[in-house]
Amino acid sequence: MATNRVIGNGNAIPWRLPEDFRWFRQQTLGKAVLMGRKTFESVDRRPFPERLNIVLTRRPRRYASEVRQKDPLLRIRIRLNPISRTSSGRMMERTLKLGSGDVVFIRSLHQVLRYAEHHDVMVCGGANVYAQLLPLCSTLFLTRVKQEVAGDAWFPAFEHWFERAEILRDTPEFTIERWRRTGSD
């Protein structure tokens, strides 16, 4: 997030900080990363390797079909709805292997919340997904870029739910902070 809360411009990150990208990779390896459809498109519809990529979209089946049609050589396994009901009505997690190319398209945050009961889920954008999930998160890892940039997507207000616990990294270009949820809502 830039000093003016910008997180995106034209469906892209408006800065290039390789050290921050390395930190993101290190923190998310082996975990699930949740993103909205626009964020998935901003990374050229390429799943993050060695992570389960969960893409939130209003039309998961149609979007999964579009992804395959636009790039039939893209070797991804598209799965829909990681949580399903058994014949007895009990909720059951479908087997999802973490690996290069795993993408799950879901329609509702309720599905990811059920998945998050058993797995670490790292939210990586965009602005609408952050706004919906911040009230439910316990920890926030925030990169603060030490400049003001032009943009069309902003990080939502979060300070009333969280307090800064520590600065994990401080460079001339950015800081990485860990925030924890406070007791007040």
Q: Read off the pLDDT of residues 84-102 as tens digits, 9 standing for 90 and up.
A: 555 555 444 444 444 445 7
pLDDT, tens digit, for every residue of 45-76?
778 888 888 888 888 777 777 777 776 655 45
With 0-12 / 13-18 / 19 or more C-beta atoms within 10 angstroms meaning exposed / middle / buried, residue 170 is: exposed
Integer CA distances (angstroms), 50 to 23, 30, 153, 173, in order: 15, 6, 28, 28
Distance CA 95, CA 89 (A): 18
3-state secondary structure of 136: helix
- So what's the pLDDT on residue 109? 82
- So what's the pLDDT on residue 140? 96
Q: Is residue 52 within 8 Å of 104, Cβ to Cβ?
A: yes
- Please give the model's pTM, rounded to 2 decimal places: 0.82
Residue 90 or 148, more confident: 148
DSSP H or E segment with residue 41: helix 37-42
Residue ranges and CATH numbers for the domains of the chain are 6-181 (3.40.430.10)
Which of 141, 140, 126, 135 has its CA nearest to residue 43? 126
- So what's the pLDDT on residue 114? 76
